Every structure is written in structure tokens, then in C-alpha cells.
A and B are shown apart, each in its own frame.
Chain A
Amino acid sequence: MEYLHGHYNYWIVILLMMVGFYTVISRGNLIKKIAGLNIFQTSVFFLYISIGNVTGGTTPIVADGFEQYSNPLPHVLILTAIVVGVATTALGLALVVRIKEAYGTIEEEEIHNQDESL
């Protein structure tokens, strides 16, 4: 029971990661792939923030009356990762718009067929 209580967070995060992963590799629509990629990224952020959490600790802002603080280092890493993630998403969506203009569709199979018939 103690073991379950200490680990269920990680298992649900892994479930979310796998849902995002499945969306990326099994669906053909490009916008859905990008949404699945973002789900994957967000669940990886959960993993890191869960590692940085401390029982009885509080947000890492120094204030009177608090002794235990959560680890600020994962927060910094994930802050950077979130912003880089939105930069990648913006570029990916710009590519989707160009693909639509070039091929006329954003379904992966139709794009593949058009490429193979050349």
C-alpha cells in the first residue's frame, strides 16, 4: 500500500505518455499528431515535477514561516522545456499549412499516395 501510494503518480503519467505516443503514431491527420505530441510533452513535464515534489514542502519562494521547499531545479528545466515546446509547435503548424498548400490535404496517407505516384 505504501509502495502503491509512492508510485501511482508515475504510472498515471506513463499512461498519459503512452496515450500521446499512440496518437502520434497511429493517426494520420497532421493536426492530431501535433496535439498528441503536445500531450506527450506535457506528461513528461509531469514526470519531472513529480520527482521534484517534497512532502510538506511548499512552492520554492522564500517566505517567513516556511522551512521545507520543493526542489526549484526541475521547475527551471520544465519552464525552459515548455517554451521550447511552444516554439516547436508553432513551427510544426507552419509546416502543416505549407503542406496543405502544396498537396491539398493534411491526411498522411493521401500525401504518401501523391508522393508515390510521381
Chain B
Amino acid sequence: MIDDFIDITLLAFLAITAIAIIRMRNLFAVIMMFGIFSLVSAGLFVVLDAADVAFTEAAVGAGISTVLMLATLALTRGHVEKQPAHKPWLPLGVVIVTGIALVYGTVDIPAFSDPQAPAHQHVAPRYIEQGQRETGVPNLVTAVLASYRGFDTLGEVTVILTAGFGVLLLLGRRRLRKTEEEDEQ
């Protein structure tokens, strides 16, 4: 009962923040609202019993992503978004059609938090019942991430490394002023 109330309140906050991000034109305020969005969604993940996910979302979303966006804003120096030129009827139409299609897709979905749903039937009971016995680790998420599905985590770490390389290649050693001097010569 109180769980549902907290759930609905946090989801309402999220919806308000998301709509505020669309409507506001001051980019600094948009980035701050984005940080609030990440933090409230981390709280919602805790209510939905996902502690590791909440931890990562709070650290990565409200931490690193917000800092990088602020750094980009400082580098691009454009603080106010321009007023859009055409009326947004076509994007609104596309979004409404997609939304209706997705809601039509959730008509048959099993009810929220039903223990008999197919998602909980095949591999998950084996992980829950034998995870601690086979890996010696009580945290089932770490056991699945590091031991049962360790190969995927190797790929994920490689993706992070590649992103680091990409940013180094794009924004590497050469400074902004130096490039302009080279162009003038």
C-alpha cells in the first residue's frame, strides 16, 4: 500500500521533470533537471528492489553524465536554445502513434510483479537457488554478472575502453587555440 504510493509519487516526479526538460530553453537549467531525473530514477529503482542498478544509476547518471554535459556546455558556450522554427505537428503525430502502438503491445503483458510470469521461470530459479552454492557469493547480481555471464562483462569493459579511446581521438591533445593558429598560417 505505502509501496504503491511511493511508486506513484516518484513516477509522477519523473514525468514532471521530463516534461520540464522539453519545455525549458535555458540549457543550464535543462542539465540540472537531467541530474534530478537521474537521482529520482535511482530512488525508484530502490523501490523496485534493484539495489545494484540504483547504485550504478545514481553514480553514473547523476554524477558522470551531468558533469560531462556541464563540461560540454562550458566548451560550446551556447546557453539558450533557439526557438524552433516550425510547428511540431509531425513529431507529435509520430510520438502519439508510437505510444499507442506500445500501449497496444502491453495489453497482454503479465501483471506487474506477478511471480508466475514467464520471465521468472526458466533460468532465474536456477540462479536464485544455486547461485550462492555454486559461486560462494551472496550477492546474486554479482554472481550472475561476474561468473555466470562473465563473457558479457568482458565485452562491456571493452566498450568502456573503446569509448575512452574514442573521446581521446576526438578531443585529444590538440588545443582549440592552436588549431586556429595553424589555419591562419
Contacts and interface: CB of A to CB of B under 8 A. Distances in A.
A91 B163 CA distance: 6
Contacts of B92: 22, 26
A25 B95 contact: yes
B11 interface: yes
B32 to A, nearest CB: 11
Contacts of B167: 90-91, 94
Contacts of B69: 31, 34-35, 93
Interface string A1-39: 011011111111011111111110111110110111011
A63 to B, nearest CB: 7
B50 A19 contact: no
A80 interface: yes
What range describes how many residues of B lie at the interface? 35 or more
A80 B146 CA distance: 12
A70 to B, nearest CB: 4
A23 B49 contact: no
A14 B103 contact: yes
Contacts of A16: 14-15, 18
A71 B120 contact: yes
Contacts of A88: 163
Contact of B179 (A11, A86, A101): A101
Given A14-B103, A19-B15, A62-B132, 12 more contacts: A6-B112, A21-B95, A28-B84, A38-B34, A54-B120, A69-B128, A78-B50, A79-B53, A82-B60, A100-B75, A106-B76, A107-B81
Interface of A: 2-3, 5-12, 14-23, 25-29, 31-32, 34-36, 38-39, 42, 45-46, 49-63, 68-76, 78-80, 82-91, 93-98, 100-101, 105-107, 109
